[in-house]
Each structure stands twice: as C-alpha cells, then as structure tokens.
Amino acid sequence: MTDSSYDVELLRKDFPILERRVHDNQALIYLDSANTSQKPRQVLDTLAEFYEQHNSNIHRATHALGEEATAAYEGARLKVASFIGAPDADTVIFTKNSTEALNLVANVMAWGAHGLKPGDEVVVTEMEHHSNIVPWQILCERTGATLRWFGVTDDGRLDVSHIDELINDRTKVVAFVHVSNVLGTLNPVATIVARAHAVGAVVVLDASQSVPQLPVDVAELGIDFAAFTGHKMCGPTGIGVLWGRRELLDELPPFLGGGEMIETVTMQGSTYAGLPHKYEAGTPPIAQAVGLGAAVDYLSNVGMDAVAAHEKQITAYALDALSTVSGLRVLGPTNAVDRGGAISFTLGDVHPHDVAQILDSHGIAVRAGHHCGRPIHQRFGVSASTRASFYLYTTPSEIDALIVGLEKAKRFFG
Amino acid sequence: MQLESMYQEIILDHYRTPHHKGLREPYDVEVHHVNPTCGDEITLRVKLDGDTVTDVSYDSAGCSISQASASVLTDLVIGRDIETGLVAHREFVALMQSKGLVTPDEDVLEDAVAFTGVSKYPARVKCALLSWMAWKDATSQARENMLEPAAGMSPATASPREGSTS
C-alpha cells in the first residue's frame, strides 16, 4: 500500500546532512541508517533551543529553568510512552541506549525477587546483536543459569520448530530481537510470547530496529520488556529506553545506585524511589531525552504507518535490484515479507571492507564487518558482510547508485 | 577520493597472489590474532634458527589490505635475522601511524612502502597492522621459549613442535 501523500523529496529537506557532499564533491548517499539514522532540523532545533533557553538540572532545581527543564524531560517521557503504547508513562525508563537497557534487565535478574539460580535457563537467538547475547552470558556466569538459543533457517528465519523443548519449565527469560539488524528478519513475537508466558518466563524484546521502522505497541505485543535507542529513530545519541511491565519493575531490585533513585538514605541502608526514578540514578541525559521527544513528534507527524510502508517499498526495490548483481548473496530473507530494511550481503570474493571502501569513494555510506552479530555471520559461513540499510529519507535512485557502485567494486578487484 | 592512493598496484598484486601463504611445519610458535571490529583473522607461525627467521607461514581471512600486508611482511622477514625484521616492524608501524606525512625508507620497507596511502585512512590502519602484530607476538614468544630450557624447563615443553601431529 503506497500512500501518494508520502513525499520523500520533501522529507529529505528536513535533514540538513543529506545536502552534504563528500570526496571530491560527490553527493552523499547515506545507506547506513540501521547503524544510526540522520536527524531532522526539528530535532536539531529542539536540542539547540533546550541548551539556549531551558538548560538546568531536573527534579531538584527550585527555579524557573529547573521547572522548564523538568517539564521538557517528563514531557518527552509522555511522548515516548504514547508512541509505543505504554499504558503508563512511569514504565518508560530513560537509559543511554539499547545496550544499557538490556544490561539493566540482565543485571536486576541476577538477584532479588526474580534472581536466577543454577538449573534455570535463559533463551536467546542466534541472530541477536552482541548486546542481546553478552549481557545474558554474563548473567548466566553470575548465577549458574544456562544459556540456550534458537537457531536460524537457511533463508534467515527464526527456527521455531523446537520451541516447546527450548522454552520449558526451567526457562526464566526469553530475550530476542524484533527485527534483525543483520538479516532484516521480523520475528514472530506472538508465537514466542505465548510459549514463554505459558511456562512463566519473562520476555525481553530488543526493539532497536523495529521502533524506528514500524508502529510498535508494547501492550499489544504482550511482551514484558522492550529496549530501543533514540539515535536510530531520528533522535540524538546518548538516549535510549527500557520499557517494562509495572509489576516487574516494582518487584525487581535497583540497577545503578545514586542520586534521584532513592527515597531515604541512612548510613545503615536506603529505600528506593518509585518508578521511573528507581532506575534513573544520577543526572540523566536531559537534552537528549528532550531531543528524543522531538524525534517522536517528527515520526508521528510523518506517521509510522507511512514510514513502514516506505521502508517496505524501498526494501523490495533494493532486494530486486541486488538480485541483478552477479555473485551477490543476500544473508537473510530475499523478499520483503516480514522483513525490515537492513540488507547484508557478500559480493563474490571481494571482502566487505574493500566493497565499502570503493562505495565510499563514490559517496555511498554502507557498513562493513559483522555488525555486532558475529554468531549469525558464522551461521552463514562468513566472517563479515556489507550492509545497506534504509530509512524514511531513502530514495530508489540511491539504490540505483549502490548497484552501480557494486559493479565498480567487482571490476576493481576482479 | 583517490582510491589509487590506497589500492596501489603493488598491494593489489600481493592481494591477488599472496606470497608464502598457507600454514607450514616445522614451527616454534603459532599465534591467532583478530581484528574485533571487522572480524579479520590470522593464524601465523614462526620458525627461528638462532637469530634467523627461517619461516613465517600463515592462514588468514580478511580484506585486500590485510592480505597484502601479510604477504609483504613475509617477504621482508623470511631468511633474514630477527633484528632486521624488528627494524622493519618499527618502521612499518611508524609509517602506518604517520597519516601519510612521512616518506618511508624503501631500503628497509621494500614493497611495504606501498602502504603509505593506507595510513591516511584510520579505519584501515588496523587491517594493515594485523599480520605485523601477530608476527611480533609470535617472534617474541619463540625467543622466550629458546631461553627457557636454560632456565630449567623440561625438554618436552620447550622443544619446538617439529613435525607435530597433535
């Protein structure tokens, strides 16, 4: 479904950096949005305005600026809550990024009410970003629990054929990615949530790639935690979000200790603040949260249904175009069904670093390497890949330029 | 951007036809080094005879820069004395950290002078240095092992893995 009112050229004018020219005055072709997205003028202006007009610490300054800054910060929390369908804004915890959000959950499950024990199991998938593997490996090391994982089929889909054995009475946590940053695969959340909840396991969703691209409603998905990051959704770096179910956030122990997260402190011990402050120790990234609020406003104005439709259309266009390049092998689904807009591929024997270097010389920015997903590259028998990824400002002509660049790379190293 | 400043013909030649590639025996020490940011890997073996580097063999996966660099390295060190190799190592590391601002000594670096252009691309410097770091590591381990028997090591642990089948 294509919305004829979606004008990508008009949207591009909101992104000053897309006017950049690089390497001998060539137009920048930015195909690395799964790494970090570009920022619209509206977000940049909000950041500047915050620092120029409202800068203050929050929740503690009894003066005009303190009140304005607090209102802006808490206003951003309300915007994020509404954007992801959180029933209660206090369950939106600001972190510095997805990695910190996932580590927060993995840390508070090491002890206390839901602390893991030897014999317990944590289930992840082979297509996780390192940030949704390593924290769980550390949790298992600390607690004696066992890490298990879903495999991936040859066409890049999650292999759920053994789900009833994999997620069992011993399973305490199931953590998985909504949309893969390497394969692009959109995972079957409902299937996994149903099985996990049937055995009483907590479900943690890495929504780093999905919240920027798709309408995401955490209540509708039925998950227990979701992690995502501001900088991949038109917001600044340094701000991420952990959303959690209130009963769990209330029951779980604190993560970082310090100012703001306490109720009273004595030398003998402390009691903790209520949500969300319990999980926001210290001065948070205030301007960055406000900037994320502006990013949410921006995406809401464009409309997440329109963003998702554009992503699907441009991904289908790119998959078609890439299929014409001989020697190119896509890792992951080769059609745009249940798929996000990150396409990783290999190009014959040409190493991804070399592919990226040739593309860069033509102004085309892609990512080369394992994209923080070494296990999934091993699964497909390669050490690295080249990844092109798209966003609401990506045009078909940029994909055409990518194809020309890939042919040049083949000739250069042929 | 002048791609040719990085991808010199000498580099592409070594990449397409790498010298001394493949793991060989006998060897004193084997090391495995990785570049965690991109996943490039090298397994490298060193065989010393007194002060002489008698063989350097390797198996590697990586980009053209890292492959060519390993090939050039082996040309520079095999059959020469260790100190000459270490001088080349120091010179190469200094070149790679120079951001293209120094003129390398061709007498010392031979084909490795072709990497001058690479030093202007910070993201690729690690690619060029991977095999060199592995060689230095393996060589210093092999030298330590040579000293160990005198310090009372049992011959079994100190002996080179010559013709090892394990």
- Per-domain residue ranges for chain A? 8-30+303-413, 44-300
- Give the pairing of strands A240-244 and A328-331: unpaired
H helix or E strand, kind and range, residue A271: strand A270-272
pLDDT digits (tens, 9 = 90+) for B7-33: 999 999 999 999 999 999 999 999 999
User: Comparing C-alpha atoms, which of A98, A79, A97 is closest to residue A89?
Assistant: A79
Q: Give residue A5's identity as a one-letter amino acid code.
A: S
A352 contacts in chain B (CB < 8 Å): 38, 63
* Residue A141, pLDDT above cutoff 50: yes
Backbone torsions φ then ψ of B119, nearest 5 degrees: -65, -15
Which residues make Cβ contacts (< 8 Å) with residue A19, sequence separation at least 6? none
Q: A161: buried, middle or exposed (CB in 10 Å: 19+, 13-18, 0-12)?
A: exposed
Q: How far apart are the first and last CA of chain A?
A: 41
* Residue A189, pLDDT above cutoff 90: yes
Backbone φ/ψ region at B2: left (φ over 0), alpha (ψ -120 to 50), beta: beta
ipTM: 0.80
Beta strand ranges found along A157-261 (DSSP E): 171-177, 202-206, 225-229, 240-244
Q: Looking at residue B105, what DSSP letter applies?
A: -
Q: Indicate the class that CATH gives domain A8-30+303-413.
A: alpha beta
Indicate the SS3 state at residue A147: strand
The residue assigned the tokens 């054995």 is: A165
Query: How far is C-alpha A111 from the geometric centre of its chain's CA atoms?
Result: 27
Q: What pLDDT is recorded for position A26?
A: 95
Backbone torsions φ then ψ of A260, nearest 5 degrees: 75, -30
Q: What pLDDT is recorded for position B166?
A: 31
Q: CA A72 to CA A68: how far, in whole Å? A: 6
Closest partner CB to B62 (pick from A24, A351, A358): A351
Q: Is the four-CA dihedral A190, A191, A196, A197 of positive or negative sign? A: positive
The residue assigned the tokens 């991949």 is: A232
CB contact (8 A) between residue B3 and residue A412: yes
CB contact (8 A) between residue A358 and residue B61: no
Which residues make Cβ contacts (< 8 Å) with residue A301, sequence separation at least 6? none
For B8-21, the DSSP string reads -HHHHHHHHS-TTB
Please state the pTM of the whole predicted model: 0.92
What residue ranges define each of the domains in chain B, with the CATH number in brackets? Answer: 3-139 (3.90.1010.10)
B15 contacts in chain A (CB < 8 Å): 413
CB contact (8 A) between residue B3 and residue A24: no
H helix or E strand, kind and range, residue A170: none
Question: B156 vs chain A: nearest CA distance in angstroms?
Answer: 36
Q: Six-digit token pair at A234?
A: 């038109």
A377 contacts in chain B (CB < 8 Å): 39
pLDDT digits (tens, 9 = 90+) for A95-137: 999 999 999 999 999 999 899 999 999 999 999 999 999 999 9
Q: CA A170 to CA A115: how far, in whole Å? A: 13
CB atoms within 10 A of CB B137: 16
| Cα B41–Cα B46–Cα B48 angle in degrees, nearest 5 | 170
CB contact (8 A) between residue B1 and residue A361: yes
* Residue B155, pLDDT above cutoff 90: no
What topology does CATH give the domain A44-300? Aspartate Aminotransferase; domain 2 (3.40.640)
Q: CA A126 to CA A410: how far, in whole Å? A: 30
Question: A31 vs chain B: nearest CA distance in angstroms?
Answer: 18
Q: Six-digit token pair at A295?
A: 């990013």
Q: CA A223 to CA A213: how far, in whole Å? A: 18
A352 in B contact zone (CB under 8 Å): yes
Closest partner CB to B61 (pick from A24, A369, A383): A383
A360 contacts in chain B (CB < 8 Å): 1
Q: CA A258 to CA A281: how far, in whole Å? A: 5
Tell me the average pLDDT across A343-370. 95
CB atoms within 10 A of CB A60: 11
* Residue A245, pLDDT above cutoff 70: yes
* Residue B165, pLDDT above cutoff 90: no
